[in-house]
Amino acid sequence: MRVMHRVRHGVAWSVTIMAGLVAAWTPAAAKWAHATSDHFEIYADMSPAALTTMATRLEQFDGAIRHLHRTPEGTGAKGANRVTVYVANDVAAIRRLSGDRGIAGFYLPRASGSVAFTPRIDEGGDGSRSTRGGGIPQIVLFHEYAHHFLLGNYAAAYPAWFSEGYAEFVSTAAFEKEYVQLGGAAQHRAYSLLAAKPVPAATLFATGQTLTDEQRGVMYGRGWLLTHYLMFDAARGRQFQQYLTALNAGTPSVAAATAAFGDLRALDKALDAYLRQSRIPGLRIAYDKLPVAPVAVTPLSPGAAAMVELRMQSERGVNRATAAPIFARAARIAAAYPDDALAQGWLAEMAYDAGQDDVALGAADRALAADPTSRQAMLYKAQVMMRRAAAATPRDASAWSAARRWIVTANRQAPDDAEALSLYYDSFAAAGETPSAAAILGIGRALELVPQDPALRFKVAAQAILDGQTDAARRALRPLAYDPHQSADNPAARLIAILDTGVTGPAAMLALAKARGETVAATPSGPTPAN
C-alpha cells in the first residue's frame, strides 16, 4: 500500500519558463513510450522527439542545480535513485489521480522508486503553459524534484520555509538559447508576496505551530524571498549555514536563528527592502558547464501500453478496496499478453495489492519466464511467499528462507536497489525475528540510497533506538520532524521529544505508540507507527 504525499500550489501566474519542453506533439504521431536517463524515467503518450526533449530538459535542470551547489553524484550506482515521471493527458487527469481538485502535479518519495505525476504540457486553461514553456505544471514538477534533490543530497533538518522556499527558488528555471537561468521571479507567488500580510521571520523559524491556509500560502512566497536573499547575499548565506549547523545539533529553531541572524525583526526589514528592489539577481549557467546526459527512448510493449494508465493509478497509491477494481481491469488486459514481462510484473503487483496472491504468484512466474532478470517479479513473488508464511501455523522456517532467497536474488541482480534491501529487513519483523546484522546494515544502506523515503528513515531511526544509538536516531529523525508535509501528529517530532526525556530502547517506541493511542505489540524490530 502506498501513501500519497502532495503539495498544494496556487494558480495565479504569469511566469516565463522552459521553452519547448514538449515540442510538436500530435495525437496521430504519438504513442506510449518510455524514456530513461541518468536521473529520470518517463512514461508518456508523446512522440520520441518530444519525450527526448523532455528528458533532456529535466537532466539539464538537475545539472543546473548540481552546478549551483557543486554537488557530485550520490552514493549509489548511476540510475539507482531515479524519479519515475508519469505524464498524464491533462491537469484534470492529475486531479482525478490525486483526489485533489487544487493541484497540478504531485510527488511520492519511496524506497521502491520515487514517482512524480505531471500533465502533458501542451494544453490551455487552468493548467496551461506560459508563452514560452510549461507554466504551473512545470513549476510544480520542478518544485517537487527540488525536494527530491535536496533531501537526496543534503539529508538534514530544514525549516518549512526553506524546504518550500528552496523548491520555489529553483522551480522558475528558464532555458534560454545559451544558458539555464535559476532564481527567476516567482510571479506565481505575487499575491502572497505583495498583497497578503507577511509572515514574520520569528513565525517562519518557529516550529510545531499550525498555520492558517493563508499563512501557509504566504509562507511559500516569503520562503522563496528569504531563500533568494540568502542565495545572493554571501554574509546572510554564512549566517544560514550557522543556523542549520545549530539546528541539526539540536538547538531549538528560534534560538538557533537568533544566534545566527541576530534580531529577527531586523531580518524582516532587510527582506522587505530586498523585495522592493526594481530588479532581482539571477544565476545564468551556460549549457557547456552542464553534463550531457544520454536519453534512451523505447516504445512500450503492447501489453504495457494497454496497462500503463492502470499502472499510474496503482502507483498513485492504493489500499485493498481501491486496488480491487484496478486489479480486475488489469487482469483482463494482461490475459492477452502472457509473454509480456513488464505487463505481467505490473499485474503481479496489482494482484498482490488486491489480496489475490495466487494470481500475483502466477503473474510473477510468467514475468520471470519472459525476463529472468525482472526484479519486480522477484520481489512480489517474495512478498506473496512472506504473506503465506506469516499466516501459516505452525511457523515454517523453511518458508521464510525460501521467500528471502528471492529477495537476495533481486539484490544480487542490483545491489543498489533500496527496495530489496528494505524488504529483506522487513521480512524479519514479519517473521517475528530479530533482524540479522546483514539486514540492519542493509536498511542503513537503503536509506543512503533513498534518503527521501520517510518510512525508510523512520525504520532506520527505530532500529537505532532499539540498538541504543540515540544520537544516530535523532539524526535520522530530524528531517522528518521538520518536514512540512508530515501530519500534525508528527511521530518523528514526538519520538525526539520522548528521547529527550531520557527514555530509550523499546520503551521509547512503546511510549510513542501510547502517546498516539495505538495498541502495539513489541516485536524484535520494534513497532513502527504509521506516518
Mean pLDDT of the chain: 87
**DSSP character at residue 285:** E
- Tally of CB atoms within 10 A around 90: 19
pLDDT (0 to 100) of residue 519: 57
357-362: list long-range contacts, CB under 8 Å, 24+ apart. 357/384, 357/387, 357/388, 359/327, 359/331, 360/384
Q: Residue 485 — pLDDT band, cuts 50, 70, 90?
A: confident
pLDDT (0 to 100) of residue 524: 40
Count up the domains in the chain and report the number: 3
Please indicate, yes or no, if residue 177 is contained in any of the structural domains.
no
On whether the CB atoms of residues 281 and 272 are closer than 8 A, the answer is no
pLDDT (0 to 100) of residue 138: 85
Q: In the 3-class helix/strand/coil scheme, how is 188-238 assigned residue by residue?
A: HHHHHHHCCCCCCHHHHHCCCCCCCHHHHHHHHHHHHHHHHHHHHCHHHHH
pLDDT mean over 327-340: 98
Residue that terminates a domain, selected from 220, 251, 281: 281
- Based on the fold, state whether residues 118 and 248 are members of the same structural domain: no
On whether the CB atoms of residues 7 and 117 are closer than 8 A, the answer is no
- Based on the fold, state whether residues 200 and 244 are members of the same structural domain: yes
Q: Residue 122 — pLDDT band, cuts 50, 70, 90?
A: low
Please indicate, yes or no, if residue 6 is contained in any of the structural domains.
yes
Closest CA to 199 of 130, 277, 267: 267
Please indicate, yes or no, if residue 337 is contained in any of the structural domains.
no
Q: What is the pLDDT of residues 254-289, one digit of tens each?
A: 999 999 999 999 999 999 999 999 888 999 999 999
On whether the CB atoms of residues 27 and 124 are closer than 8 A, the answer is no
HSE, side-chain direction, 13 A CA sphere, residue 506:
8
Q: Residue 514 — pLDDT band, cuts 50, 70, 90?
A: confident
> Is the pLDDT reported for residue 527 higher than 70?
no
194-202: list long-range contacts, CB under 8 Å, 24+ apart. 194/275, 196/221, 198/222, 198/268, 198/272, 200/264, 200/265, 200/268, 201/226, 201/257, 201/261, 201/264, 201/265, 201/267, 201/268, 201/271, 202/254, 202/264, 202/265
- Based on the fold, state whether residues 190 and 148 are members of the same structural domain: no
Helix (H, G, I), strand (E, B) or coil at 464: helix
Q: Residue 77 — pLDDT band, cuts 50, 70, 90?
A: low
On whether the CB atoms of residues 333 and 306 are closer than 8 A, the answer is yes
Q: What is the pLDDT of residues 375-425, one digit of tens each?
A: 999 999 999 999 999 999 999 999 999 999 999 999 999 999 999 999 999
Q: Residue 27 — pLDDT band, cuts 50, 70, 90?
A: very low
Please indicate, yes or no, if residue 378 is contained in any of the structural domains.
no
Distance CA 393, CA 176 (A): 65
Distance CA 238, CA 4 (A): 35
> Is the pLDDT reported for residue 476 higher than 70?
yes
- Based on the fold, state whether residues 148 and 222 are members of the same structural domain: no
> Is the pLDDT reported for residue 523 higher than 50?
no
The grid coordinates of residue 525 equal 524490530
pLDDT mean over 8-20: 27
What values do phi and psi take at 115, rounded to 5?
A: -130, 150
pLDDT mean over 345-359: 98
Residue that terminates a domain, selected from 251, 266, 299: 299
Distance CA 216, CA 337 (A): 48
- Based on the fold, state whether residues 200 and 88 are members of the same structural domain: no
Considering only residues 75 and 217, tell me which one the structure prediction assigns the higher pLDDT: 217
Element (H, E) at 449: helix 437-449
333-340: list long-range contacts, CB under 8 Å, 24+ apart. 333/303, 333/306, 333/307, 334/303, 334/307, 334/363, 336/303, 336/306, 337/301, 337/302, 337/303, 337/306, 338/366, 339/366, 339/369, 339/370, 340/301, 340/302, 340/303, 340/304, 340/370
Please indicate, yes or no, if residue 332 is contained in any of the structural domains.
no
- Based on the fold, state whether residues 106 and 202 are members of the same structural domain: no
Of 16-30, 293-307, 502-516, the one with minimum mean pLDDT is 16-30
Distance CA 410, CA 344 (A): 17
- Based on the fold, state whether residues 222 and 260 are members of the same structural domain: yes
- Based on the fold, state whether residues 295 and 245 are members of the same structural domain: no
Q: What is the pLDDT of residues 168-188, one digit of tens each?
A: 999 999 999 999 999 998 888
Q: Residue 21 — pLDDT band, cuts 50, 70, 90?
A: very low
- Based on the fold, state whether residues 21 and 81 are members of the same structural domain: yes
End-to-end CA distance of the chain: 13
Please list, in sequence order, all residues whose beta carbon lies within 8 angstroms of the beta carbon of residue 411, skipping any fewer than 6 positions away. 417, 420, 421, 424, 442
Q: What is the pLDDT of residues 431-465, one digit of tens each?
A: 999 999 999 999 999 999 999 999 999 999 999 99
Distance CA 41, CA 86 (A): 9
Please indicate, yes or no, if residue 24 is contained in any of the structural domains.
yes
Please indicate, yes or no, if residue 121 is contained in any of the structural domains.
yes
pLDDT (0 to 100) of residue 216: 82
Closest CA to 282 of 515, 48, 68: 68
Residue that terminates a domain, selected from 281, 312, 337: 281
Q: What is the pTM of this model?
A: 0.87
Q: What is the pLDDT of residues 208-238, one digit of tens each?
A: 667 777 888 889 999 999 999 999 999 999 9
pLDDT mean over 125-138: 50
- Based on the fold, state whether residues 70 and 201 are members of the same structural domain: no
pLDDT (0 to 100) of residue 529: 41
The β-bridge relationship of strands 174-175 and 31-36 is: unpaired
pLDDT mean over 482-500: 86
- Based on the fold, state whether residues 191 and 132 are members of the same structural domain: no
Please list, in sequence order, all residues whose beta carbon lies within 8 angstroms of the beta carbon of residue 167, skipping any fewer than 6 positions away. 142, 143, 144, 146, 147, 150
Q: Identify the domain containing residue 201 by its residue range.
A: 185-281
Q: What is the CATH number of the domain that holds 93?
A: 3.40.30
> Is the pLDDT reported for residue 29 higher than 70?
no
- Based on the fold, state whether residues 194 and 68 are members of the same structural domain: no
User: What share of the chain in percent tops pLDDT 90?
Assistant: 73
Please indicate, yes or no, if residue 360 is contained in any of the structural domains.
no
pLDDT mean over 150-160: 90
Element (H, E) at 43: strand 40-46
> Is the pLDDT reported for residue 128 higher than 50?
no
- Reported residue count of the chain is 531
Instruction: Provide the sign of the torsion angle of the four alpha carbons 128, 174, 5, 251, taken in this order.
Output: negative
Distance CA 88, CA 424 (A): 33
Torsion over CA of 393, 397, 400 and 402, rounded to 10 degrees?
-120
pLDDT (0 to 100) of residue 209: 65
On whether the CB atoms of residues 248 and 478 are closer than 8 A, the answer is yes
Helix (H, G, I), strand (E, B) or coil at 86: strand
Q: Residue 134 — pLDDT band, cuts 50, 70, 90?
A: low
